[in-house]
Structure 1
Amino acid sequence: MGKYFGVPLIHGRITKDTYKEILEKAKSRLATWKSSTLSFAGGCTLIKAVFSAIPIYAMQSIKHPTETCSKLDKINRNFLWGHTEESKKMHLVK
């Protein structure tokens, strides 16, 4: 159908592929930042201020699938603890 303020207009069943664009947008936004150049507090502030605002409008109107929310949290944790595909790091707190 299209989009309204970046949220897809849905006339059918909501699947995990429906919000794939939000996940991709979040990954691309964090790809421009380097977690190694930020302090831990700076990374927390960046996640709370910038990254958490991406899916908020879509979440106000439609309930997201649990898997989508889990993936968003995983992206946040990976950025905060410096986990990348090249260097896998253990998260100290889940």
Structure 2
Amino acid sequence: MDSTLLIVITGAAVAGFVQGLSGFAFGMVAMSFWAWAIEPRLAAAMTVFGALTGQLLAAASVRRGLSWRRLWPFVAGHAAGHERP
């Protein structure tokens, strides 16, 4: 296996693990690996794609457990306390 591909795969795996634990930081972790192996434009595009994919997967899994009954008091509190222009 090519060393560049190994670095890209390792960076993505470690960054995905960190994002799974913390909910953010995919880009910071992935770029710390990828900056040494691939050109910056490609690394930036891959970072954005990976971070967005991770956030969309997390949002989809959280949305399944959302209870609108529990959310209404927060919405009502926001509506009551929201300053109107």
> Is the pair's TM-score, using the shorter chain for normalization, greater than 0.5?
no
TM-score by length of 1: 0.33
Structure with the larger helix share: 2
Question: Using CA pairs below 8 Å that are at least 6 residues apart, which structure has the higher relative contact order?
Answer: 1
Structure with the larger strand share: 1
